[in-house]
A = this chain, B = another copy of it.
């Protein structure tokens, strides 16, 4: 299926006070509603591709599922932009997490933010992965070439998963988090282990991106942009290697630099 990422809009362009009516391309933003075990759970605003992956990745990142084994059924109504996800058991872990979520107002933040921190502290990333700086320069440049949508509309972020110098999955989305969650969802649905992979992102790395990565055991996150203080702190505590400002033949390593050789 070929998705449409951009649409045309009639605009008025002003250049040096000269005015003209033109047709321009605008990046599409669409609401995606996730039904979880029969209840409407959340509506995300996103780019209109890989919606099933986004839903699965979002639920994994929020801790509502732990992997493919938790999912009994996924139905995507592409026209209505609804994904229905049913888990194998509505008792046990999933139920407990869901209960917790409602109490904390449901944004994966609140107490849940701090309890996510607590649980990460007990689970250190020990992956022996090591990657050459030259390999990272190359991956970032390949990702840049793929980022055509960004070039044409200036409105999306990209994320990619890489291994042994190759990009395995690549996604673009109007949301930084969505682009990463689509990668997470693809890995879950294809049973890809993340313990020896590299996550590449075009966007800033905030604490939430590091938490997503650390929960999945990802050893290395590489971004073209800046990390925040909390992202650096969490990366150091969880054993994750965080690389920022990877552009051209330069990069900064903010934590556990032994993985970059």
- Residues of B near A14 (CB, < 8 A) are 133, 250-253, 260
Q: Once bound together, how far apart are the Cα atoms of A31 and B107, in whole Å?
A: 13
Known: A24-B252, A43-B114, A153-B226. A257 touches B12 (CB 8 A): yes
Output the nearest chain B residue to A107 by Cβ-Cβ distance. Answer: B107
- B228 and A155 contacting across the interface, CB-CB below 8 Å: yes
The stretch that binds B, out of A69-77, A164-172, A180-188, A200-208, is A200-208
The stretch that binds B, out of A191-199, A213-221, A229-237, is A229-237
- Residues of B near A109 (CB, < 8 A) are 42-45
Is A102's beta carbon under 8 Å from chain B?
yes
Number of copies: 2
- B226 and A27 contacting across the interface, CB-CB below 8 Å: yes
- Residues of B near A251 (CB, < 8 A) are 13-14
Is A105's beta carbon under 8 Å from chain B?
yes
Is A57's beta carbon under 8 Å from chain B?
no
- B226 and A26 contacting across the interface, CB-CB below 8 Å: yes
Contact residues on A (Cβ < 8 Å of other chain), bracket: 35 or more
Known: A15-B249, A17-B133, A109-B44. A174 touches B228 (CB 8 A): yes
- Residues of B near A148 (CB, < 8 A) are none
- Residues of B near A7 (CB, < 8 A) are 229
- B230 and A29 contacting across the interface, CB-CB below 8 Å: yes
Interface residues of A in 30-63 (CB under 8 A from B): 30-31, 33, 40-45
Q: Once bound together, how far apart are the Cα atoms of A204 and B27, in whole Å?
A: 11
Is A66's beta carbon under 8 Å from chain B?
no
| Distance to closest chain B CB from A155 (angstroms) | 4
Is A28's beta carbon under 8 Å from chain B?
yes
- A42 and B107 contacting across the interface, CB-CB below 8 Å: yes
- Residues of B near A26 (CB, < 8 A) are 226-229, 232, 254
- B229 and A28 contacting across the interface, CB-CB below 8 Å: yes
- A225 and B154 contacting across the interface, CB-CB below 8 Å: yes
A-B contact list, 13 entries, CB within 8 Å: A13-B250, A24-B252, A29-B228, A29-B230, A30-B230, A40-B111, A42-B107, A42-B109, A101-B105, A155-B225, A155-B227, A174-B206, A174-B228
